Structure 1
Amino acid sequence: MKLILKLISGIVIGVILGLFGFEWMIKSLLTFKDVFGEFIGFMIPLIILFFIASGVSKLGNDSGKLVGMTVGSAYLSTLLAGILAFFVATILMPFVASGGVIPEESSGLAGYFSFEIEPVMGVITALVFAFLFGIGMAKLQSEYLIRVFDEGKNIVELVIKKIIIPLLPFYIAGIFAELASEGTVFDTLQVFGIVLVVAIVTHWIWLTIQYVVAGSLVGRNPISLIKTMLPAYFTALGTMSSAATIPVTLKQTKQNGVKEEVANFSVPLSATIHLSGSVITIVSCTVAVMTVLDGYSVPNFFTMFPVIAMLGVIMIAAPGVPGGAIMAAIGILTSMLGFSEVAVGLMIALYMAQDSFGTAANVTGDGAIALLVDKFTSKLKS
């Protein structure tokens, strides 16, 4: 919650400076925005590389069917959640905002200077590299390389926690100072609240679908199953981390009748790979940003489906820190949808404002995944 308050403060300060500040103050903030935006772009391939490679290397060769069912169920849930979010957002967003209210590129003040920080590799290259080495390390059980990628993951996570997250409010302030100086900020802000409500409502629609399916398969009341998982939901609201909520998710999942050996495996794995709530938010915010920004048009389903499919894969790169999912997703948004710096800044602000709700939807859905895996493993054994 402290981070959300800081981000809101950044938005308020940016708007005030953009409307009433001295020119040198605005230009200083825009300079920081430009430089920090380059740094974020530099870090994205490293986030993808180290987090995916490290995560895949832990899958190993044991309990292949259990791994396959958990990974397959989690990915299918994430994919279908993204598709649901796309249709909900494309139906509602045109009623919320009219297109072309925000200039795509700055036509007003600019920073004092800017420079380019070239990433060490492209997003797709990092993704292929990560899976290649992750699968190879899992098969060969290469302890040395696993340690190397684990240490790289720790370094990248440290950068996210100590540099990117603390400085995000200033970056967001720069984005909104630019919008305010151009006279378009209030068109953006009036969309924000509605987008967040749409995303949260879609979370609960998808959670209901998940537990209706799981409940029908295991012969249990879905409302009772969701009620049991509520402690995990509210814990995630406070921690904003799927990983930090694992103990509570595990406890509540077992209370729902999932066998201990299945819960002990599927819940920690799902905390890493099942991010349906996060994808719902990213897709909802993507449609909203493309609706209000000049120069964009909301893509059709066949254009958006590959993006949603890639988000389902790249979410494995989301670390257990606030904002990890959107940091990993920026590469997809820029490479596949052509998002500019303004679009990326709005995405970060929108996503971070409800990160805790997306995380809560993720971990609550993990309980449904565990129920499905438990049912399937029981059938296989019988």
Structure 2
Amino acid sequence: MEHPDHPNTAGPAKKGPGGALLRGLARLGLVTQILIGLVAGIALATFAPGAAASVGFLGEVFVAALKAVAPVLVLVLVMASIAGHRQGEQTHIRPILMLYLIGTFSAALVAVVASTLFPSRLVLATEGAAPTPPGGIAEVLKSLALSLVDSPVNALLHGNYIGLLAWAVVLGLGFRQAAPSSRQMIADLSAALTGLVKRVIGLAPLGIFGLVAGTLAEFGPRVLLDYLHLLAVLLGCMAFVALVMNPFIVWWQIRRNPYPLTLTCLRESGITAFFTRSSAANIPVNLQLCERLKLHEETYSVAIPLGATINMAGAAITITVLTLAAVHTLGIQVDLPSSLLLSVVASICACGASGVAGGSLLLIPLACALFGIPNAVAMQVVGVGFIIGILQDSAETALNSSTDILFTAAACEAQGDLPDPVV
């Protein structure tokens, strides 16, 4: 019998207004939670700067968590992607795959040009983390070669993303010849890490609350102008790619007015992807649109899921713009060959972007490593990316997903697989 002086600890917890508020916040989507954290951080820094400075540690914890998970994520994600590749899959969709690669690389080039014309600068803490800027393309290539042959343990410990990428490619190619059970183990490990990343990103509302409150308390409201400028460059690049660069690539394929098809894909696929913020979640929408456009099922059933994985023009723009924002902030001079190399690296990084909201941001340190930017500084840039991610990630996903079906339809028509134009 339960003693009357001791409460029943197994019973339901008392319900109060605080608990109801927390449960209500938990039921909101991540975007809404981040928006609340952003507004709360600005309000706290405005009305109670002292308290805002004290909660800045929440942002530091969030950035530290990202720093901890990002290196392992890059290694396992790329390795699993290569190991899980099915032999002969590429031959069925080679023209579409080529369009995916051209589109992603072109988007990175657009981002380089835009960042050069409208350079963004950020407020970053660089004490004790001085960059080692390269003297030119020769030094960049030398540093790249040395990073490639780094040991995997050292690469993990010091955040050498170039070395991790090299080991991921080598191990992934090796596992392609392994037993199916071994490849499944790698796939399961990748899925487990992706789930861990989702949990870390679930802390983004608190992290952004701390980052915004602490930064505004220390540097003032001018920081918001830097964020707006950066966001404008990002969205401007994505709009240019969606409305100018992609239509040009489609015209090069089908030799007729590309805008009816382009606008159809943006309307039918891009709008839903903007709100789902997941290319993978938008695959059913794209498959349904392919059926309505009367594309061949044998082609689009492979091309659309593959595009959701590797066709990442929006991610290439995000990685390039934010990397160059760090470069300009630190006063590093970038020559033309280094910019072209950045476009290549950003394209490769984009193809390996994690399939979770904000996944492309976690690959920014890999691109920053080209310019000798320390991991501690690069992860601050990732934190800035999460602050503007409410619009950035939605626009990025809309561009990625709509381009999947746009290039698939264009390639089908260019090959003469269809008796009539698709639109």
The interval holding the TM-score normalised by the smaller chain is 0.7 to 0.9
CA–CA distance in structure 1, aligned partners of residues 309 and 262 of structure 2: 21
- Check whether the contact 1:60–1:141 (CA below 8 A) recurs between aligned residues: no
SS in 1 for 2:118: helix
**Residue type at the aligned position of 1:83:** L
Show the counterpart of 1:279: 316
Given that residues 45 and 126 in structure 1 are in contact (C-alpha distance below 8 angstroms), is that contact kept between their aligned partners in structure 2?
A: yes
What residue number does 2:260 align with? 224
Matches of 2:174 and 2:322, distance apart in 1:
35
Cross-structure match for 1:115: none
C-alpha contact (below 8 Å) 2:361/2:382 kept by paired residues: no
Partners of 1:152 and 1:185 in 2: CA distance? 43
Deviates more, 1:50-59 or 1:73-82: 50-59
Match of 1:250 in 2: 287
2:320 is matched by which residue type in structure 1?
Answer: V
Q: Deviations over 1:257-316 (max 9, x none)?
A: 53221111111101100110122233234444554x4x3346343333322211211223
Change (3 A) 1:330 1:172: farther
More moved, 61-70 vs 125-134: 61-70
Equivalent in 50, 68, 72 of residue 98 of structure 2: 72
Distance 1:199 1:104 in 2: 23
Aligned residue number for residue 137 of structure 1: 175
SS in 2 for 1:354: helix
Moved more, 326-335 or 274-283: 326-335
The structural deviation recorded for 1:141 is 5.7
| Distance verdict in 2 for CA 1:186–1:298, change over 3 Å | farther
> Computing the radius of gyration over CA atoms, which structure comes out larger, 1 or 2?
2
- 1:290–1:173 Cα change, 3 Å: farther
- Is the alpha carbon distance of 1:157 and 1:103 closer, same or farther for their aligned partners in structure 2, counting shifts above 3 Å? closer
Mapping 1:154-303, distance limit 5 Å: 154-161=191-198, 163-182=199-218, 184-208=219-243, 209-229=245-265, 230-288=267-325, 290-291=327-328, 293=329, 295-297=330-332, 299-303=334-338
Q: Separation in 2 of the partners of 1:282 and 1:185? A: 27
Give a deviation string over 1:189-236, Cα, whole Å, max 9, x none.
Answer: 123334323322322321232233324522453121023212111110
Shift of 1:362: 0.5
Pick closer, same or farther for the CA change 1:374–1:78 going to 2, 3 Å: same
Q: Percent identity?
A: 20
Against the structure 1 CA distance between its residues 15 and 59, is the aligned structure 2 distance closer, same or farther, given a 3 Å change threshold? Answer: same
Q: CA deviation at 1:336?
A: 3.8
Contact 1:66 1:377 in 2 (8 A): no
How much has 1:180 moved relative to structure 2?
1.9
The residue that corresponds to 1:113 in the other structure is none
**1 CA distance for matches of 2:35 and 2:333?**
27
TM, length-normalised to structure 2: 0.75
Distance change (3 Å), C-alpha of 1:126 and 1:272: same
CA distance in 1: counterparts of 2:310 and 2:372, whole angstroms: 23
2:363 — aligned with what?
Answer: 328
Alignment of 1:307-346 (within 5 A): 307-333=342-368, 336=371, 338=373, 340=377, 341-346=379-384
Distance (Å, rounded) in 2 between the aligned partners of 1:300 and 1:171: 35
Report which stretch shifted further, 281-290 or 218-227: 281-290
Displacement after TM superposition at 1:325 (Å): 1.2
Q: Which residue does 1:368 correspond to in 2?
A: 406
The aligned amino acid for 1:133 is: L
Choose which of 29, 35, 42 in structure 2 pairs with 1:8.
Answer: 35
Would you tell me which structure has more helix in proportion to its own residues? 1
Q: Is the 8 A contact 2:90 2:97 kept in 1?
A: no
Contact 2:322 2:364 in 1 (8 A): no
After TM superposition, the runs of 4+ consecutive aligned structure 1 residues lying more than 6 A away are none
Residues 19-53 of structure 1, C-alpha deviation per residue, up to 9 Å, x if partnerless?
Answer: 544757633x3333333322211211221122212
* Distance in 1 between residues matched to 2:293 and 2:338, nearest whole Å: 39
Change (3 A) 1:124 1:78: same
Matched residues, number = 358
Give the structure 1 partner of residue 67 of structure 2. Answer: 41
Unaligned runs of 5+ in 2: 1-27, 129-154, 418-423
CA displacement, residues 239-269 of structure 1 (integer Å, 9 cap, x when unaligned): 1000110111122234445322111111110
Letter in 1 for 2:354: P
Residues 37-85 of structure 1, C-alpha deviations (whole Å, 9 max, x = no match):
2221121122112221222233221244235544433222111111112
- TM-aligned CA deviation for residue 321 of structure 1: 1.6
Task: Judge conservation of contact 1:79–1:276 (CA < 8 Å) in 2.
Answer: yes
2:407 partner amino acid? I
User: SS at the partner of 1:346?
Assistant: helix
Preserved contact between residue 211 and residue 222 of structure 1 (Cα < 8 Å): yes
Alpha-carbon deviation of 1:89?
A: 2.7
Moved more, 53-62 or 344-353: 344-353
1:358 equivalent among 393, 396, 400 = 396
Contact map agreement 1:7 1:169 (CA 8 A) in 2:
yes
The structural deviation recorded for 1:159 is 1.0
Label 1:255 to 1:212 Cα distance change in 2 as closer, same or farther (>3 A): farther
Q: Which runs of 5+ in 1 are unaligned?
A: 108-117
User: Structure 1 pair 66/275, CA: closer, same or farther in 2 (3 Å)?
Assistant: same
Match of 1:57 among 72, 80, 83: 83
What is the aligned-residue RMSD (CA, Å)?
A: 3.0
